[in-house]
Structure 1
Amino acid sequence: MKRDLGNFTRGSQLIEHFGFMFAAGLKGPLIIALIVMCWLTWWTVSEGMSDHEVYLAWMHVYGVGYRFMEFDPRHDVAVKTAWGRTVTFPISLLDVYPPVLRACSNLWPTSFARRAGWYWVSPCRTRWCKCSSATPAFRR
């Protein structure tokens, strides 16, 4: 089996050219889609959660990253409460701290369920509505 798609025998340069041109053409729309998806996620989370809940969700992300890098689990972290005070405890306890658990349980439905609804359900609903208006069989 040949390893080099770039050698100019039997039309393999066309395969290489097609692949490079496809990747070059796909890069722009993917970057734009990623930017729009990040903005919509930020917007849904900022609309659906309070600032303190977003802060606690970011603290959870910080704790997960800290554990992933396998740093000292006894490292103390100061977490702000809803009343403005701070609580200091080891970073390994962020997973069991109730306000952080509530914030994370609010984060996933807020961001992903709404986003999934916007991206997938809305176009399908629009398509179904067009179909239902065109044919009476779909009007149930």
Structure 2
Amino acid sequence: MNKRDALVALKEKGYKHTDKREDILQLFENSNGYISAKDIQTALKSTYPGLSFDTIYRNLSLFVDMNILEATELDGEKMYQFYCSHHHHHHFICLKCGKTHSIDVCPMESIHGLDPNFVVTDHKFEIYGYCKDCQK
């Protein structure tokens, strides 16, 4: 996903184009990993001094519902990045900077069918640690 595709998806679903939405999406386009609502508020406070967390979370929730963003939780805080839709994969996630790297193998392959009475509808696999830059 990218900003342009996200704006098209919003328009197709009848959502209004706003400068705030576009600027929030631009932050994700410029990011190389997960960012938080607090990061968004900090980055946009000079442009939108009255930008509330309610507005930010309402937009983030909409973006997640529309598969524009995906969410995870790091240290008890929800973090977001553009939804990866190009193929099935998982992530290494840096706990300090939020950068991600793809893991192209899926652990579900090794546990498929362990419980024949359980139907898996979805899964999520993430590995947390520190990227090369943040280890310094």
Fold shared by both chains (TM-score > 0.5) = no
Which structure has greater strand proportion?
A: 2
User: Which has the higher Rg, Structure 1 or Structure 2?
Assistant: 1
The structure carrying a bigger helix percent of its residues is 1
Q: TM-score, normalised by structure 1?
A: 0.28
TM-score for the superposition, normalised by structure 2: 0.28
